[in-house]
Amino acid sequence: MHPGASLVSPYQQGKLDALCGLYALINAIRVVHALDHPLSGPACRSLFRTGMKALLSDKHTAAAPYGGLTASQQQKLLKALMRAPVLANRAPLQLRQQRRWPKTEADLELFLRTAIKRGAVILACLHGRMSHHTVITGVRGETVVLCDSSGMSFVYLSSIGLSASGSTGLRLDRLATLSI
């Protein structure tokens, strides 16, 4: 488990929006900074306002509150959040895209455990029964632990497929680590 995960309760998104991509970023930033420099409620609201301004000011993402974000749009949004004044005096965030895609469940578990051990959280995009951005904060037994805006606290590792041809309920489309 990421050590900051137990210190943070995830912010929850509304029932009428598709802002899981923005909430995932804010929740990830909160977990990463939880140990040394926790973000206050006003600081998180400031990040939310910064994110909404960035989304609504760009014609490619203006419909995000209703239609959601792609992984590349979420990455661009993270860059806007990283420039937010509320994060100016904190350790800079580092985003790393996963280049080598895991081929097996064991490869995925190793990647997750290694990333978390070095202090990162994982931004993931799940598709299948749902299309959803979330934050992975740990692996416990057969479960992947989440800090999630929809209220999910975990998914089973065996329910995550690594390719479009998999027969599992959820397909993993994105893996990126966020750390300081």
> Do 148 and 78 belong together in one domain?
no
> Do 110 and 73 belong together in one domain?
no
> Do 9 and 45 belong together in one domain?
yes
The reported pLDDT for the residue numbered 99 is 79
> Do 80 and 99 belong together in one domain?
no
The reported pLDDT for the residue numbered 143 is 94
Under a CB-based contact definition with an 8 Å cutoff, are residues 58 and 165 in contact?
A: no
> Do 127 and 81 belong together in one domain?
no
Averages of pLDDT over runs of 10 residues in the chain (180 residues) are 93 79 95 93 95 90 81 90 94 88 89 94 86 93 93 89 67 89
The pTM score is: 0.91
In the chain, the number of structural domains is 2
Sign of CA dihedral 84, 86, 91, 94: negative
Q: What are phi and psi of 135, to 5 degrees?
A: -125, 125
Task: Report helix, strand or coil for 116.
Answer: helix
Q: 176: buried, middle or exposed (CB in 10 Å: 19+, 13-18, 0-12)?
A: buried
CATH, residue 175: 3.90.70
Find the domain containing 60 and state its range.
5-87
> Do 70 and 27 belong together in one domain?
yes
From CA 7, how far away is CA 173, in angstroms rounded? 28
**What DSSP element (H or E) covers 136?**
strand 132-140
- Only one residue has tokens 């290694």, namely 114
The reported pLDDT for the residue numbered 47 is 96
